[in-house]
Structure 1
Amino acid sequence: MGDVVAESKVDFGALAALHKWPSLANQRRPDREPYQVNEGTLDECITAFMQKPAATRHLYEIRTAPQPPLVTAVLSPEHVIELSRWREFL
């Protein structure tokens, strides 16, 4: 993926929202819908996500307008962590 990142631009100023899944015993509740906990730019939502305890990050996702090939409409915790790393290099 490193080559793709070098050739791609990510708009970290794009509108985004951080969502949290309702949980039971630190596990996502598949019978419930995630709710919004933060709204702002992609950069702000990544920062808010990274401030969450690592043990609970799997309960969060970021929703934003897709920016192919690097940014999908719903960003998983693993994807957010990768974007956070790339952001530091850009």
Structure 2
Amino acid sequence: MGDASVSDSKVDFAAPAVLQKWPSLGNQRLQDRVPYQVSEGTLDACISAFMQKPAPSRHLYEIRTAPQPPLVTDILSPEHIIELSRLRDFL
């Protein structure tokens, strides 16, 4: 209980965001390539679109949005997106 309350940190799920996918080969990111846009909309919509992707391929995706410290960075990793999805569902 000594931790900062999650509810103290507001996240604007209506903020503009882009869901991107890394080109892949054998379900592995091709690091020498550039990720391409899959969908664009709100952070909420991009999180929902990400969560609809098959779990085994989620590591190929990321969300780019304006940073909202301390919970939202400009590039959200799959693990970070899953945590934000849980937070969104909790709120």
Change (3 A) 1:4 1:71: farther
CA distance in 1, matches of 2:4, 2:55: 28
Tell me the SS of whatever aligns to 1:40: strand
Aligned residue in 1 for 2:29? 28
Rg larger in structure = 2
Please report how far the alpha carbon of residue 3 of structure 1 lies from its aligned counterpart in structure 2 after TM superposition.
2.7
Tell me the SS of whatever aligns to 2:4: helix
Instruction: State the TM-score, normalizing by the size of structure 1.
Output: 0.96
Aligned residue in 2 for 1:84? 85
Percent sequence identity is 74
Tell me the SS of whatever aligns to 1:63: strand
Q: Which runs of 5+ in 2 are unaligned?
A: none
- Give the partner amino acid of 1:19: Q
Tell me the SS of whatever aligns to 1:69: coil
Instruction: State the TM-score, normalizing by the size of structure 2.
Output: 0.95
Aligned residue in 2 for 1:9? 10
Q: Which runs of 5+ in 1 are unaligned?
A: none
Cα RMSD (Å) of the superposition? 1.0
